[in-house]
Amino acid sequence: MSDFEFTQAPIEAAALALPLARDAAGGFTSFEGRVRNHHDGRPVTGLEYEAFEALGIAEGERIVAEALRRHGALAGRCVHRLGRLGIGEIAVWIGVAAPHRAEAFAACREIIDEVKHRVPIWKKEHYAQGASGWVNCEHPGPALSAPSFDYSRQRALPEVGAEGQVRLGSARVLVVGAGGLGCAVLTSLAGAGVGEITIVDHDTVQPSNLHRQPLYTASDAGRPKAEAAAARLLDYNPTLSIRAITERLEERNATALLAEADVVVDCTDNFASKFLVNDAAVRAGVPAVLASVYQYEGQLQVVRPERGGSCLRCQWPEATRDGLVGNCEQAGVLGPVPAILGQLQAMEVLKIILGLPGQLQDELLLVDLLACGQRRLAAPRNPGCRDGCVRIESAAVQFAPDDLDVELPLTAAAAAGYRVVDIREPMECRLEPLPLSGQQSLPLARLLEGGLRVEPGRRYLLVCAHGVRSRAAAEFLRARGHANVWSLRGGLAAQDG
């Protein structure tokens, strides 16, 4: 017996109540919604109901389960009529058994309110002068009803409609990180009506966060971000189920958390977490939407393991060291930058849930907000990517980690035939020019976009301030078959003296 069902047959309330009897139930309540003979002052002769049954049943079962769990009820059921009904016939019946009457009343009230604004049901009213058009059954209800949220402007989109709204309400999204990216993602998903959102963040709110993390206020300082974000989102849209986890995402909990998600969104600011999200998503077969921010620029990637798409390790076989690109604390950031990248992440999540066109896969989206420019770069599946993209062991790339570093004075390296490539930012180069001529300057971002033409017959030495970015860039190029690329150990800092 399903907890929610549609029926074309007349509803027999007594027969429906019998299976809900429980010895432990001290309270039982039922609700009958009947067809009345008037509406807005006009005489009604009957009603007609239609529904999107497959989605409606799934959402209805979820509503009943949520209400029973929330109020501690023991059993419940909802049955809704379809087809043509006459005056006085039961259109919807709800029954709840609970240990006490208060729980039964509360669960029954929640079920009817939620069914009215979450289940895709349409009705047509018949009058003596003719029939109305088909309208959605959602109604704000009396003042004591549970709070509702108006999705009418969103549902007006032909690609969304009532069916799409139900899909959103049934979706489960895991958001890792509630900082600048996370605040934008969470607000957009809550506003769109994503039914279940889990927030994972071990950090606390700091005053320096507020300019780019508008979910928080100054009074939240010191409070766990996940808890503060969940409370704010529930104030914003009380119809959602939002869970706060004040822990760091780690190997020990990643598998369990992703098993409960339809999509995972990486909103962290460090590479270790991004690779952890990527690997867990690939193992779970769950789409992952990843983004990163550097000063005025950002990058977006969508990993689709369930479609056999490429993953983060297809581009970076080994987890990039933190420090390759500074986080917001180290490099600085304007508030709109993570907000815009987070909105783009949220858009990709909604595309996945709703099946909208234009979804990112096997590509990177690069965003430059100073130039107001975007570029989409191909990021195909690495043919050497094994074990579902979690570990890459390409036979074409064989080198020991220690072989990546060269420890020589720059002048000696140039004399030995290395082509020196300075991958620092232009400002760094102006403040501290390299002590030799003939080198090539190529910022790291351009190198990663394919801006360095590596000729097989030459040796290339990548240089940065401390050797961290250059080593990671050398790893990046080695993984693409360029064995003639090295990094200057310690960077320019090691050249002093």
260: CATH:
3.40.50.720
State whether 148 and 240 are in the same domain: no
User: For residue 161, is it within any domain?
Assistant: no
Of all helices (H) and strands (E), which one includes residue 43?
Answer: strand 42-51
C-alpha–C-alpha distance, residues 352 and 172, integer Å:
12
Residue 381: DSSP 8-state: P
CATH of the domain at 93: 3.90.1170.40
| 459-463 and 418-422 beta bridge pairing | parallel
152, 183, 212: which is the final residue of a domain?
A: 152
pLDDT per residue over 62-72, tens digit each? 999 999 998 99
Long-range contacts of 474-477 (CB under 8 A, 24+ apart): 474/404, 475/316, 475/317, 475/318, 475/404, 476/315, 476/316, 476/447, 476/448, 477/452
Position 42 pLDDT exceeds 70: yes
Domain ends where: 328, 361, 392?
392
Q: Are residues 406 and 433 in the same domain?
A: yes
Task: Please state the rounded mean pLDDT for residues 44-60.
Answer: 89
Task: Examine the domain organization and report whether 263 and 352 are in the same domain.
Answer: yes
Q: Is the pLDDT of residue 323 over 70?
A: no
Burial-class residue 372 by CB neighbours within 10 Å (0-12, 13-18, 19+): exposed
Contact 233, 244 (CB under 8 A): no
pLDDT value, residue 134? 67
Confidence band for 309, pLDDT divided at 50, 70 and 90: confident
User: What are the counts of helices (DSSP H) followed by strands (DSSP E) for the chain?
Assistant: 16, 25
pLDDT band at 314 (very low <50, low <70, confident <90, very high): confident
Q: What is the mean pLDDT of residues 183-187?
A: 96
- 363 and 436 belong to one structural domain: no
Note whether 57 and 119 are within 8 A (CB).
no
434: confidence class by pLDDT, cuts 50, 70, 90: confident
Cβ count near 327 (within 10 Å)? 18
**Domain shared by 377 and 437, yes or no:** no
Q: Is residue 164 part of a domain?
A: no
111 or 40: which leads in pLDDT: 111
HEC string for 164-226: HHHHHHHCEEEEECCCHHHHHHHHHHHHHCCCEEEEECCCECCHHHCCCCCCCCHHHCCCEHH
User: What's the pLDDT band for 281 if we cut at 50, 70, 90?
Assistant: very high
Give the pLDDT score at 403: 73
Determine the Cα–Cα distance for residues 212 and 180; give it in Å rounded to an integer: 5
Residue 160 lies in a domain: no
Which amino acid, 361?
Q
Q: How many whole angstroms separate alpha carbon 321 and alpha carbon 280? A: 19
- Res 448 pLDDT > 50: yes
Are 241 and 387 members of one domain?
yes
- For residues 113 and 18, membership in a common domain is answered with yes
| 263 in a structural domain | yes
Q: Is 387 found in the same domain as 407?
A: no
Q: Structure pTM? A: 0.56
The pLDDT mean for the chain works out to 85
Residue 395, pLDDT > 60, answer no
Residue 473 and residue 450 in one domain: yes
Categorize the per-residue pLDDT at 344 as very low, low, confident or very high, splitting at 50, 70 and 90.
very high
Q: pLDDT band at residue 331, thresholds of 50, 70 and 90? A: low
Is there a single domain that holds both residue 231 and residue 316? Answer: yes
Assess whether 383 and 439 both reside in one domain: no
- For the chain, how many structural domains are there in total? 3
Burial of 412 (0-12, 13-18, 19+ CB in 10 A): exposed
- Each residue's pLDDT tens digit, 470-485: 888 888 888 888 888 9
pLDDT in tens, 150-165: 888 898 888 898 888 9
CA distance 385 to 278: 14
Domain extent at residue 436:
401-495
CA atoms within 13 A on the CB side of 5: 12
Instruction: Pick the last residue of a domain from 392, 418, 437.
Output: 392
- Domain for residue 157, yes or no? no
Contact, 364 vs 205, CB < 8 A? Answer: no
93 forms bridges with which residues in the sheet? Answer: 32, 79
Average pLDDT over residues 120-141: 71
Identify whether the C-beta of residue 126 lies closer than 8 Å to the C-beta of residue 45: yes
What is the Cα–Cα distance from 292 to 298, expressed in whole angstroms?
6
User: If you compute the radius of gyration of the chain from its CA atoms, what whole number of angstroms results?
Assistant: 29
Do residue 186 and residue 145 come from a single domain? no
The CATH number assigned to the domain holding 456 equals 3.40.250.10
pLDDT-based confidence at 143, cuts 50/70/90? very low
Task: Give the pLDDT score at 329.
Answer: 54
Contacts of 23 (CB under 8 A, 6+ apart): none
- Give 485's strand partners: 460
Q: Which band of pLDDT confidence, cut at 50, 70 and 90, is reported for residue 398? A: very low
pLDDT, residue 264, reads 97
- 172-176 sheet: strands from edge to edge: 241-245, 196-200, 172-176, 263-266, 288-294, 297-303, 363-368, 373-378
Residue 438 belongs to a domain: yes
Integer Cα distance of 345 and 349 in angstroms: 6
* Cβ–Cβ under 8 Å, residues 67 and 110: yes
89-129 pLDDT per residue, tens: 999 999 999 999 999 999 999 999 889 878 888 888 888 77
